[in-house]
Chain A
Amino acid sequence: MRITNRKYGVILSSPGFIIIVALVVFPLVTLFVTSFMRYTAVTRIGFTGFDNYKYIFSDRLFWLSLQKTAIYSVGATGLTFCGGLLIALLLSKITRGSGLFRSLAMFPWAVPLVISGFIWRWIFNPNVGIFTDLLMRLRLISEPLPIFSNPKLAMMACIIADAWVRIPFMTVFALAGIDSIPQGLYDAARVDGADCIASFRYITLPLIKNMLFVGLLIISMINFRTIDVIFAMTGGGPGRATYVMSLYIIDQLWLRVNYGTGSAAGVIMLLLISSFAGYYVYLILKKE
């Protein structure tokens, strides 16, 4: 007996289907159900309606973490975007040794985020790090800069460590866009008397705009939920200066041992990111 091609396709896809049901659908259902339950280590388990959500929305720490997340992701995304675009533009202009330069520009990508956190923690350390030393040698500051005890500077340090790993991604993204622009366009513009600023403004930018936008969306989506760097560098401190939403969710699990509020916070995070992602998916579907 021969299996039809369609059935064969179904059989082949079944492992994927099983994984999706077991590792995505089931946890998601659990997440939503638990978010409406009183579920802690000490109380009796039962349904409580929207109590968990009410608790979170009246929790000062939640709003604080939301604010910190916004600052962190906007900062990291902005820095990644500008750095990536700049490097991509420069890489697209050179010809000799371009392969080597392109390879070198990719390397930070290979470094795990946690390790990036440790590395920059050392660089920015006021007592042993080279950043302070450099600034002092340049006579920009007269005594060590206590970066990790200053709320704003600590946030900036985390943003730099995060962007450092992600810049290559944005570079590749922008380069793919720039490389697909036919050289003829630039030649024609040159004949018409356009300098490189004008070519960038009127040729490069409009043609890679969509590509850049998608890259921007992906990076902001990722930054919104990343925690590795903060864990390695500040652990949310000083005080709660880098207390992002992911840390808030972890605290529900570890400190409060409250699965109900932890799930509710998870749902809120999911909805927030979905609004970003929904827009992104919409753009892709529109393109196809």
Chain B
Amino acid sequence: MVRKTIARILERPLTSYLLLIIILSIMLAPIIFTLFTSFKTRAETFSWPPTYFPKDPTLQAYHEVLFRSPILRHLLNSLIVAIGTTTIVMVGGLLTAYGLSQYKFKGANMLLLIFIATRIIPPISLLVPFYMIMSFLHLINTYVCLMLVNTFLWYPFAIWMLKSFIDKFPRELIDSAIVDGCTRTRAFFRIVVPVSAIGIAAVAIITFLWTWNEFLYGIIFTNTRSVQPITVGAHYFVGDELVQWDSIAATAIFTALPGIIFFSIAQRAIVKGLMAGAVKG
């Protein structure tokens, strides 16, 4: 009897909508209240009881973050590292994926399996060896170091996703282009890349975002503000005694911005790319 009632309530569409609205409100509340906090004055962030909406909205926090703190520098660092990593990963990844997918050779599958297997390695395990290698090469505190370790992190995943897109590309199209006098390399850039453009863009965006969000290697391999990425630099407003919540909130908004922008405009492609990589890999 009780079960029947519950089932009847659950079956009504209204219940689903209500529950969804409640749960999604809880899920989105942290982002929204962070946005609100970033418009508060510092005094207001320390008042009790806490306010939910800014009483007199101000851009004070943004002004401080952008012009009176090194945050802009960290954002720039993250941008450089993310663009560099994405370039390395995409150029190397596209070539390798094209080779593994369309021009199979002995050991191609083995190589692919090794790529997947490397994703098992926890990044934290390689902390010490990477540290030793980077110190030996005098690369600690450089963009190059961050780009290299991020390449290690995201390259296998990118190959896996790219290969799943290029696998779907009909081989006849390449072959007929070659019959028409096109070289294999030209066929790749003229036909394969443009046709798979959306998938490739999705992989590039994901690589960019992951590099941007990366924290562990950032905090281990850099210790000066001139190269530290934003995920590490964001600690600037966290003091031992005092945490400047308004500035933290503004920094959080800046740091989450690329993700939120990309997710807003290309969510479907990103999710599809991630799923292709996750389910198969």
Chain B residue nearest to A259 in the complex (CB) = B128
The one of A20, A133, A214 in contact with B50, judged by C-beta atoms closer than 8 angstroms, is A133
Which B residues between 35 and 65 are near A, CB-CB below 8 angstroms? 37, 45-50, 52
Given contacts A164-B27, A225-B124, A266-B125, contact A8 B184 (CB under 8 A): yes
- State how many residues of chain A have any CB contact under 8 Å with chain B: 96
Which B residues between 109 and 128 are near A, CB-CB below 8 angstroms? 111, 114-118, 120-128
Query: B274 contacts the other chain (Cβ, under 8 Å)?
Result: yes
Do A106 and B263 touch (CB < 8 A)? yes
Which A residues between 174 and 204 are near B, CB-CB below 8 angstroms? 176, 195-198
Given contacts A23-B151, A111-B256, contact A12 B103 (CB under 8 A): yes
Do B151 and A19 touch (CB < 8 A)? yes
* Residue with the greatest number of chain B CB neighbours at <10 A, chosen from A7, A129, A228: A228
- State how many residues of chain B have any CB contact under 8 Å with chain A: 99
Chain A residue nearest to B158 in the complex (CB) = A16
Given contacts A16-B93, A111-B31, contact A277 B130 (CB under 8 A): no
B contact patch SS:
helix
Do A105 and B24 touch (CB < 8 A)? yes
Query: B215 contacts the other chain (Cβ, under 8 Å)?
Result: yes
Given contacts A5-B103, A6-B103, A31-B126, contact A218 B278 (CB under 8 A): yes
Query: B4 contacts the other chain (Cβ, under 8 Å)?
Result: yes
The one of B3, B159, B216 in contact with A228, judged by C-beta atoms closer than 8 angstroms, is B216
The one of B27, B50, B108, B115 in contact with A167, judged by C-beta atoms closer than 8 angstroms, is B27
Q: Write out, one digit per residue, whether chain B residues 230-258 have a CB within 8 A of any chain A CB (1) or not (0).
A: 01001100100001010011001001100
Do A93 and B256 touch (CB < 8 A)? no
Q: Given the complex of chains A and B, what is the CA–CA distance between A103 and B266 in angstroms?
A: 10
Do B16 and A93 touch (CB < 8 A)? yes
Do B215 and A112 touch (CB < 8 A)? yes
Query: B72 contacts the other chain (Cβ, under 8 Å)?
Result: no
Do B17 and A87 touch (CB < 8 A)? no
Query: A207 contacts the other chain (Cβ, under 8 Å)?
Result: no
CB distance from A162 to the nearest CB of B (A): 13
The one of B10, B116, B213 in contact with A112, judged by C-beta atoms closer than 8 angstroms, is B213
5 closest residue pairs by CB, A with B: A12-B99, A110-B259, A9-B103, A16-B96, A195-B7
Known: A13-B111, A128-B47, A164-B30. 5 other contacts (CB 8 A): A13-B108, A16-B92, A23-B149, A108-B28, A263-B128
Instruction: Show the binding face of A for B, using Cβ within 8 Å.
Output: 5-13, 15-17, 19-20, 23-24, 26-28, 30-31, 34, 83, 86-87, 90-91, 93-95, 101, 103-116, 118-123, 127-130, 133, 136, 164, 167, 169, 172-173, 176, 195-198, 211, 214, 218, 221, 224-225, 227-228, 231-232, 245-246, 249-250, 252-253, 259, 262-263, 266-267, 269-270, 273-274, 277-278, 281, 284
